[in-house]
């Protein structure tokens, strides 16, 4: 099955995409059917995919439910009830005739077709051993398809996790690069006795320092959650030309990370310290 479904998964609710990235799917098909969240994910994967499984699974699922109700068919591959030739005909006419062209289903479909066409040898109420064998083959083949499909689904979810992680890493790298660039520009624009806003976020384990106006990426920043620090930063003039320091109000436990951003990333040699911003300082104008 192709990977187009991964792009389409952007339409899924956040809760489902989070499960796809952070959780392992249920151990087998049977366990999945009892899990509402993963049942929705599996159905989405089938409906947005391509190829064999997408083509046959709606009919396979419908037959599976019918066989459970009509024949007491069990996940183990056995039939708890007694199948009749009439029921085999019903199943063939409703579902199995459409499986005849599918390699994985073809043998069972042919057996069902032959029995269904032998009205004289197997009237509708017949439930002899050949009828039971054909019904069991039909059921076991469907179970095999469901199990192999679910195995492929598990691989697809693993691929999704890798792709999502790669996309997130790219987003993290690109966004932090843009933030660093804007931070540098802001630090350059800050004149003596001027202040602006500073926030620190924990973005999936990465500490991100945001200085000044970043409206152009506000939507991405909003996904980082509430800031750990939301305070003011100001430039204080020193006595000598080129001297001075950066004042950071209420940096919490993040002063060292803020200093790294300013001194190492933005390249300012000025000292960074915790201090209140004097009230006579003016705010940096955004222009």
Q: Find the length of the chain.
A: 287
Considering the domain architecture, whether residues 153 and 241 belong to the same structural domain is answered as no
pLDDT tens digits for range 190-248: 889 999 999 999 887 788 999 998 888 888 888 788 999 999 999 998 766 666 899 99
Considering the domain architecture, whether residues 264 and 218 belong to the same structural domain is answered as yes
Q: Which residue segment(s) compose the domain that 157 sits in? A: 4-166
Between the two ends of the chain, the Cα-to-Cα distance in Å is 51
Considering the domain architecture, whether residues 47 and 103 belong to the same structural domain is answered as yes
**What is the pLDDT averaged over residues 16-33?**
88
Residue 101: per-residue pLDDT: 65
Considering the domain architecture, whether residues 160 and 214 belong to the same structural domain is answered as no
Residue 174 located in a structural domain? no
Residue 184 located in a structural domain? no
107-123: buried (b, 16+ CB within 10 Å) or exposed (e) per residue?
Answer: ebbebbbebbeeeeebe
Considering the domain architecture, whether residues 239 and 154 belong to the same structural domain is answered as no
Domain end position, chosen among 166, 182, 207: 166
How many domains are there within the chain? 2
pLDDT tens digits for range 104-136: 778 888 899 999 999 999 999 999 999 999 999
Considering the domain architecture, whether residues 144 and 237 belong to the same structural domain is answered as no
Considering the domain architecture, whether residues 162 and 273 belong to the same structural domain is answered as no
Considering the domain architecture, whether residues 73 and 124 belong to the same structural domain is answered as yes
Considering the domain architecture, whether residues 262 and 121 belong to the same structural domain is answered as no
Higher-confidence position of 189 and 287: 189
Q: Are 88 and 112 in contact (CB under 8 A)?
A: yes
Backbone angles phi, psi at 154, to 5 degrees: -60, -40
Considering the domain architecture, whether residues 149 and 223 belong to the same structural domain is answered as no
Residue 65 located in a structural domain? yes
pLDDT at residue 282 greater than cutoff 80: yes
Model confidence pTM above 0.85: no
Q: How far apart are CA 250 and CA 79, in angstroms?
A: 70
Residue 173 located in a structural domain? no
Higher-confidence position of 147 and 173: 147
Considering the domain architecture, whether residues 49 and 141 belong to the same structural domain is answered as yes
Considering the domain architecture, whether residues 153 and 194 belong to the same structural domain is answered as no
Backbone angles phi, psi at 98, to 5 degrees: -80, -10
Q: How far apart are CA 5 and CA 265, in angstroms?
A: 39
């Amino acid at each position: 099955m192709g990977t187009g479904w991964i792009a389409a998964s952007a339409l899924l609710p956040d809760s489902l995409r989070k499960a796809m990235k952070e959780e392992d799917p249920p151990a087998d098909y049977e366990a999945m059917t009892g899990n509402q969240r993963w049942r929705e994910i599996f159905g989405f994967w089938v409906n947005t995919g391509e190829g064999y499984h997408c083509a046959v699974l709606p009919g396979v699922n419908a037959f599976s439910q019918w066989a459970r109700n009509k024949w007491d068919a069990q996940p183990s591959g056995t039939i708890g009830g007694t199948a009749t030739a009439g029921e085999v005909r019903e199943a063939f006419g409703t579902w199995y005739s459409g499986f005849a062209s599918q390699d994985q289903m073809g043998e069972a479909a042919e057996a069902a077709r032959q029995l269904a066409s032998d009205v004289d040898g197997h009237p509708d109420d017949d439930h002899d051993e050949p009828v039971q064998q054909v019904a069991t083959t039909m059921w076991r083949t469907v179970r095999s398809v469901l199990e192999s499909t679910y195995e492929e689904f598990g691989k697809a979810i693993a691929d999704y996790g890798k792709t999502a992680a790669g996309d997130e890493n790219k987003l993290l790298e690109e966004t932090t690069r843009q933030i660093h660039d804007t931070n540098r520009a802001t630090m350059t624009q800050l004149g003596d006795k001027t202040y602006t806003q500073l926030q620190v976020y924990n973005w999936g384990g990465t500490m991100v320092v945001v200085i000044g106006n970043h409206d152009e990426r506000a939507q991405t920043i909003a996904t980082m959650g509430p800031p750990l620090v939301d305070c003011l930063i100001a430039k204080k003039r020193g006595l000598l030309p080129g001297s001075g320091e950066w004042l950071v109000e209420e940096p919490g436990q993040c002063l060292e990370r803020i200093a790294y951003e300013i001194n190492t990333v933005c390249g300012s040699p000025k000292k960074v310290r915790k201090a209140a911003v004097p009230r006579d300082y003016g705010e940096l104008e955004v222009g």
